[in-house]
Structures are given as structure tokens and as C-alpha cells.
Amino acid sequence: MKLVVYGPQKRLGAWLEDGIIVDLNYAYTALLESKGEERACAKAYANVPSYLLAFIEEGEAGLKAAAKAIAYAKKAKVSAKGEQLLFKDCDVKFHAPLPSTDSRIAMAGANFYDHSTDVSKMFGQPTSIEEIRKQVKDGKYNAWGFWKQARNVVDPDECIPYPARTQRLDYEVEVAAVLGKKGKDIEEDKGEDYIYGYTIVNDLSIRDGGRMAGPDGFFFGKNFDGCAPMGPCIVTKDEIGDVYKLKLKQTVNGKIRQNGSMESMIRKYPWWITWISRDMYLYPGDIVCGGTCSGTALDTSPVVEGKTKPDNFLKVGDVLEAEVPGIGKLHTTIVAKK
């Protein structure tokens, strides 16, 4: 199921293949009313909430009820009270499918073989994929990552102000795993059970301070207004199939910059879920981004006297399209800061 957050009230919808959005809560209410259920509205809010995080917390039961609501809405189109159940996707605004501003967004660093080899070259220590594989096997490839703040997430088709403190704004298309269960000290062989679905995150970064971070350090280089475009939907994992076969693509002004595959992922999501959950609870709605493939501006820009040349980095007016088949396309436009 493709779940979207849409409209001025940021309600939960299911995005169908024919471009129709089903309001799941309204549709389930209408279904119960058609059966003569008492307190249909209250029961619908309990089983198919209109709020994304609450729906995720309902787990499999919520998805089964939503499937019934979709089947009913396709036939009825409106409720007995005349409420609209179906909407065209072109007629509604999509919001980022961020479960909550309390959601934590963990970002895996240097987690693709092709991207990691490019990073190693920038540090003057070129390392082949075979060497990285050996390091991983021998337990010598150090894991690292960082957090993105949820309030920096922005909607699909949004305009992002170019940060005043940078001349080197970078992009990274990533597949993000959205968690559906609470857990701590999670065993790796059970990590997959905690994943609810997947969405796209475009990890925007300030790169002026040397090769990796901004002038104020790594945290500030990764966190600023609009640094995490997300969407356009969450696809439940049962519809994705093998997430590690998905293709990744990023274009800037229609020209391909990143064109890779999840097959290059070094450590898979269950490993990261185990690593992050050591001594700390993860909750439904928390997000784990798996990293990016090669082709970022940082990867492709030469280093001169310790600084990357600015040529390949984003500029005001640039239009980004991060695409992952099966999930969708995430459009973002870079604009001047007011």
C-alpha cells in the first residue's frame, strides 16, 4: 500500500495506481455506516486513524482494515452522507510522509561500496571495493552516521532556501526505512520485522569545510531548514519486494547525477537497526536512511588545495528529482534565501 499525507488537514490517504487518493479514515467510516454499525466514526478512528503515526502503530490490523476501506471506496465513491472518499492526486497537495516531528531520522554514513570508494579517493587513500569488502568481513570497516532533525523535513515539490553560509550545497538520494514497532537491543535477525515501509529522503548537505562537513562541523553541515526533502509516499514493505534490488537516480535540471543501485549497500537495514538500538528504544515512526550511491557533487568535484571546486554543487534555481522505482519521484527546487 502506498500511504500519503495530503490536503490542508494533513490526512492519511492511500495512493492508487490510477492516480486516485482514497481517504482511508473517511472510507472506513463510510464502510461501517453502510453496515449499520453504531458509533461508526469512533470505531473508524480507532482502527483506521486519519493521522499517519497512529495508523502505523495499528500495524497489520490497520492495513487489513484499510484494504477493506479501499475496496468499498472504489465502488461507493462517496459516503451515504455525501462525503467525498476519492480524490485525484493532481488536485491535492502532498505533504512529507513524516510520521511525527518526534520521529528520529538516523542516517547511515558511507554505506555504499561505490560511494565509499569515491570518498576514500578524496581523502587521498584510494580504496577498492574488494578492499572495503575485506574490511567489512574482518570487522575493520567502521560504522558511522548522524541524525537529521525531523523539523528540517520538507514536503515533495517544495522550494528550499539556499543556506547563506555555503557555496557547496550537495545532494544524496536515499531510501529510508520507516519503523513500525518499538524495540531496544534488537537482534539483527529480527531487525527486518521492525520495518513498516520505505520512502525517499534527499540528504542535502553543506560541504564547504574541507571534504565532508560545513565550516561549523558535521552536525550543522547536515541540519538546516529544508535539508531533508521526503516523499512522496511510504510504501509498505510487502509491496516493495527485495528493497536491495531497487535502483536509485538523481537528476539536477534533467541531467543524471546519481544512477546507482541498492545492491551496492554495504550494511543492510537490520544491521543498522541493531546498531542504533543498543541501549536505546526505537519507536514506530523512527526512520533509518541507508546511505547513497556514487555521483554526489562531493564525489565528482576535484579537490584543489584542500577544498572541493564548487562547479558540480547545487545553485539557486536548480531542480532536483530523486527517483526510486516502486516508491516514486521526489521533486525539490533550490531558491534564494529571502
Tens digit of each residue's pLDDT (9 = 90 or more) over 23-71:
999 999 999 999 999 999 999 999 999 999 999 999 999 999 999 999 9
Domain count, the chain: 2
Q: How large a percentage of the chain has pLDDT more than 70?
A: 96
Residues 90 and 129 in one domain: no
Reply yes or no on whether the pLDDT at 186 is more than 60: yes
Residues 186 and 263 in one domain: yes
Residue 23 near residue 87, CB atoms below 8 Å = yes
For all residues of the chain together, what is the average pLDDT? 94
Reply yes or no on whether the pLDDT at 124 is more than 70: no
**173: which strand partners?**
202
Which CATH number characterizes residue 61's domain?
A: 2.30.30
Tens digit of each residue's pLDDT (9 = 90 or more) over 245-255:
999 999 999 99
pLDDT score for 210: 58
pLDDT score for 172: 98
231 falls within a domain = yes
Give the phi and the psi of residue 36 in degrees, each rounded to 5: 75, 20
Instruction: State the pLDDT confidence band at 305, using cuts at 50, 70 and 90.
Output: confident
Q: Among 75, 95, 115, where does a domain finish? A: 95
The whole-number average pLDDT for the span 126-148 is 91
Reply yes or no on whether the pLDDT at 319 is more than 90: yes
8 falls within a domain = yes
Residue 308 near residue 214, CB atoms below 8 Å = no
pLDDT score for 208: 86
Give the phi and the psi of residue 294 in degrees, each rounded to 5: -70, 165
Burial 288-319 (b: 16+ CB within 10 A, else e): bbbbbbbbbbbbbbeeeeebbebebbbeeebe
Reply yes or no on whether the pLDDT at 211 is more than 60: no
Residues 73 and 49 in one domain: yes
pLDDT score for 122: 64
Residues 91 and 119 in one domain: no
**Which residue range is the domain that position 86 belongs to?**
2-95
Length of the chain: 338
pLDDT score for 127: 82
Reply yes or no on whether the pLDDT at 145 is more than 70: yes
Residues 254 and 140 in one domain: yes
Reply yes or no on whether the pLDDT at 320 is more than 60: yes
Tens digit of each residue's pLDDT (9 = 90 or more) over 262-286:
999 999 999 999 999 999 999 999 9
Q: Among 74, 95, 116, where does a domain finish? A: 95
From 130-134, 197-201, 320-324, the region with the lowest mean pLDDT: 130-134
| CB within 8 Å of 300: residues ≥ 6 apart | 118, 257, 312
Cell representation of residue 33: 455506516
Q: Among 72, 95, 118, where does a domain finish? A: 95
